Amino acid sequence: MRIGEWMRGLLLCAGLMMCGVVHADISTVPDETYDALKLDRGKATPKETYEALVKRYKDPAHGAGKGTMGDYWEPIAISIYMDPNTFYKPPVSPKEVAERKDCVECHSDETPVWVRAWKRSTHANLDKIRNLKSDDPLYYKKGKLEEVENNLRSMGKLGEKETLKEVGCIDCHVDVNKKDKADHTKDIRMPTADTCGTCHLREFAERESERDTMVWPNGQWPAGRPSHALDYTANIETTVWAAMPQREVAEGCTMCHTNQNKCDNCHTRHEFSAAESRKPEACATCHSGVDHNNWEAYTMSKHGKLAEMNRDKWNWEVRLKDAFSKGGQNAPTCAACHMEYEGEYTHNITRKTRWANYPFVPGIAENITSDWSEARLDSWVLTCTQCHSERFARSYLDLMDKGTLEGLAKYQEANAIVHKMYEDGTLTGQKTNRPNPPEPEKPGFGIFTQLFWSKGNNPASLELKVLEMAENNLAKMHVGLAHVNPGGWTYTEGWGPMNRAYVEIQDEYTKMQELSALQARVNKLEGKQTSLLDLKGTGEKISLGGLGGGMLLAGALALIGWRKRKQTRA
């Protein structure tokens, strides 16, 4: 009995010692995430942390699956790759039962570029990492590999003294460190973010922490958004995306809104290069275009031009934290600014978000001087003062805020005019040719749906123009300011195009008012008993303002005559 008690005590001590060694107190993951997951950051093991993250990640109540509008759309063939957790099923062929080495042998013939990319990857060359010397700038990867192996031991996927030989096809597409064979028609999976998180727990947890830190003080955006962690949710919860019958067009949005689901938007398969993901071009595919031209604004800035001119001298392999001190970097990049938060570099890129790209969103501008926003501004100042003085940084950020507010005011003035026309029912075709949008969208003025759906006079041209002022031109003005591209907020983009749109809206509004006044006058004149040619009659005098006035009068007389003839024939 005593021996049994002694053994149990020994096992308990051993267990406690193991817990002490493999805990998951990840310094780059904020307290908010540990609190949300109900984990003790000092005691939670990698296994416990991973399981808590995945439980939330796969929970439909937290953004997984087809979303609240899922009944309005069906996936197409490509959708299985956009959201593998929801739609992917193993292929029906080839009907192979294979082991680890068979994957590489077969795919060397079937998809040789995949295999060549993988052979260049860190995944295929783990021993090179183990043999790095302490004076090598890449030595940090050795510690990263040890962290990964500790994660896998905690999860029961690696023996106590076992090391990973490689990360091959079967590890990602079936299960990590799988020893036996796998059935190609039953066991194959398409890797998702939680697949990567099995090994890369730190990075997965950092990315997932965006859900917990991107919380707006007055609900300007839904909790956790905008972010990479919930970008697919944002996509499928957009009414027009669910409503569009043109599913192939809708997937153009999805292509960039899949960071929530997988990691290869930034770390291209099958090399999964960290160095590649640190380069600005990795961000350009998605952060570009008419409503978020971050790439264009950055590349035309002095920051972007310096990076372009000097990039070949930089060592992109060093970790971000060492890019300036050891990598030769002498200019900002997307990752250097947006992945940095008060000296730490993480996959949570939302902790400094203040404007969220779209200044017209209700409550954003009103919040910009709040304590919440000011704290984030201070964090930006810390980022900027790596290269600039604090006075310069604060001066420029003040310019950015005030310039954005000036653009917002211009849009709001134009929007008020068009919105009044909508309320008065005077937009083109509003009473005669304005079909309702497809469900689940509801009829309304200036709704996001109208950028991608149209029928009859819905939207009216002025309505679309002012909507584009907000969604596109004002957004580009702010982005130009934020990325220090002068032409990108004053002339080529931003203010110049907004001013042009404003003028066109005012012109059309004035024409509409004049036409309405003329119509009212014609209606009044039709009811007069005196001759329209007797300008000195007792009726209202008509002023002929030169040739233009005469033409208006002639047109009015012709219209009256036509109506009277029509009434006589009737």
pTM of structure: 0.87
Q: Which residue in 424, 491, 507, 534 is the catalytic one?
A: 491
Residue 287, annotated as binding a ligand:
yes
Sorting pLDDT into bands at 50, 70 and 90, what band is 13?
Answer: very low
pLDDT at 5: 46
Residue 19, annotated as binding a ligand:
no
Residue 62, annotated as binding a ligand:
no
pLDDT at 532: 44
pLDDT at 14: 46
Span 401-416, mean pLDDT? 98
Residue 491 is among the residues annotated as catalytic for this protein:
yes
Span 214-225, mean pLDDT? 96
pLDDT at 528: 62
DSSP 410-478: HHHHHHHHHHHHHHHT-STTTTTS-PPPPTT----SS-GGGGT--BTTBS-HHHHHHHHIIIIIIHHHH
Span 450-465, mean pLDDT? 98
Residue 292 is among the residues annotated as catalytic for this protein:
yes
Reported as a single tens digit per residue, the pLDDT across 75-89 is 999 999 999 999 999
Q: Mean pLDDT across the chain, nearest whole number?
A: 91
pLDDT of 303 > 70? The answer is yes
Residue 253, annotated as binding a ligand:
yes
3-class DSSP assignment, residue 341: strand
Q: Which residue in 358, 396, 422, 509 is the catalytic one?
A: 358
- Using omega within 30 degrees of 0 as the cis cutoff, is the peptide bond preceding 459 cis? yes
Residue 291 is among the residues annotated as catalytic for this protein:
yes
The residues, ordered by sequence, that sit 6+ positions from 21 with a Cβ below 8 Å of its Cβ are: 150
pLDDT of 474 > 80? The answer is yes
The whole-angstrom separation of Cα 159 and Cα 175 is: 15
Span 380-406, mean pLDDT? 98
Q: Which residue in 257, 298, 345, 502 is the catalytic one?
A: 257
pLDDT of 285 > 60? The answer is yes
pLDDT of 490 > 60? The answer is yes
Q: Which residue in 83, 292, 298, 345 is the catalytic one?
A: 292
Residue 387, annotated as binding a ligand:
yes
Span 379-393, mean pLDDT? 98
Residue 338, annotated as binding a ligand:
yes
pLDDT at 17: 45
Taking phi first (over 0 means left), then psi (-120 to 50 degrees means alpha), and beta for anything else, what does residue 485 get?
beta
The whole-angstrom separation of Cα 21 and Cα 18 is: 5
Residue 257 is among the residues annotated as catalytic for this protein:
yes
Sorting pLDDT into bands at 50, 70 and 90, what band is 564?
Answer: low
Residue 347, annotated as binding a ligand:
yes
Give the residue, 524 or 347, on which the prediction is more confident: 347
pLDDT at 275: 96
Sorting pLDDT into bands at 50, 70 and 90, what band is 533?
Answer: very low
Sorting pLDDT into bands at 50, 70 and 90, what band is 195?
Answer: very high
Residue 13, annotated as binding a ligand:
no
Q: Which DSSP symbol is given to 71?
A: G
Q: Spell out the alpha helix ranges (H) of 88-161.
A: 100-110, 112-120, 126-130, 140-154
Residues 380/385/390/395 CA torsion (nearest 10 deg): -60
pLDDT of 149 > 90? The answer is yes
Q: Which of 7-21, 148-162, 468-482, 547-561 has the lowest mean pLDDT?
A: 7-21
Sorting pLDDT into bands at 50, 70 and 90, what band is 448?
Answer: very high
**Hey, which residues does 98 pair with through a beta bridge?**
182
Q: Which residue in 291, 322, 396, 422 is the catalytic one?
A: 291
pLDDT at 8: 46
Reported as a single tens digit per residue, the pLDDT across 23-49 is 778 999 999 999 999 999 999 999 999
Residue 419, annotated as binding a ligand:
no
